[in-house]
Amino acid sequence: MEIVYSLIAASAAMVGALIILTFHKWSERNSFLIINFAAGVMLTLAFAHLIPEGFELNSNTMFYVLTGFLFMFFLQFIVLFHPCHDHECHTHTHVASVVGLSLHSIIDGLMIAIGFEANAELGILTTLAILLHKLPDGITISGILLHKGSSKKKIFLFSLLTALFTPLGTILGLCLFKGMPLHMVGAFLGITAGSFIFLSASDLIPETHKSKDKITSVMLFAGVFVVLAVERIIGH
């Protein structure tokens, strides 16, 4: 079941790529709405679910939250694995983007496995957060490649390749985390929370500052509401 959810999350990157290839102008105008919505989902999941669940299993959860935050900072700014949300980005080559986004997708898959190792509800919510995060990723990286002159076929294959690493990460996680001691599950929940906080606060929300549309800010609160609503639905 975890692999099915992982495939669903991975498909969001493909949807993002197809949106760019089919509705390029529309996606440019509305990507900020998706990004802010995803940020709201990630922040709510981190603070309302991952951290409290982690504390129940490991009293040092906040240390692991910090570890997850710093780990993502290291990957983002040292390893440069994440695509720029800017057509003027000159840092990333196509090869670096393939390698970096593949690593990113593996980490996404691992997060899904960690969520399900804690409980099914948290696994579903984690999948939702990953899915919403991968959709704007698919839009932005495809937009960059299209702007740089890559063919539509190459963009599609690139998106498919990187997306497939998400279920691969989940399979790897199922092998690593199955039967793991509860205090270690709590530690990894903290690391996942720190990762989500970093991605939302450092990567997603700053992008929305480029939008002058006030509804963009409202979408963050919509993301919060959706997580709380989904929790209520699947929690009964």
Query: What phi and psi values does residue 213 have, to the nearest 5 degrees?
Result: -80, 120
Location of structure tokens 């990567």:
203
User: Beta-carbon neighbour count of residue 44 at 10 Å?
Assistant: 25
SS3 158: helix
Residue 93's pLDDT is 44
Prediction pTM value: 0.74
Residue 195's pLDDT is 86
Contacts of 198 (CB under 8 A, 6+ apart): 68, 69, 72, 73, 76
Per-residue pLDDT of the chain (236 residues; tens, 9 = 90+): 788 889 888 888 888 788 777 876 666 666 677 778 778 888 888 898 889 989 999 999 999 999 999 988 887 766 544 445 444 444 444 555 556 667 778 888 898 998 888 888 888 888 888 887 777 667 766 766 666 667 778 888 888 888 888 999 999 988 888 878 889 989 989 998 998 898 888 877 776 666 666 777 788 888 888 888 877 776 54
Amino acid at 165: F
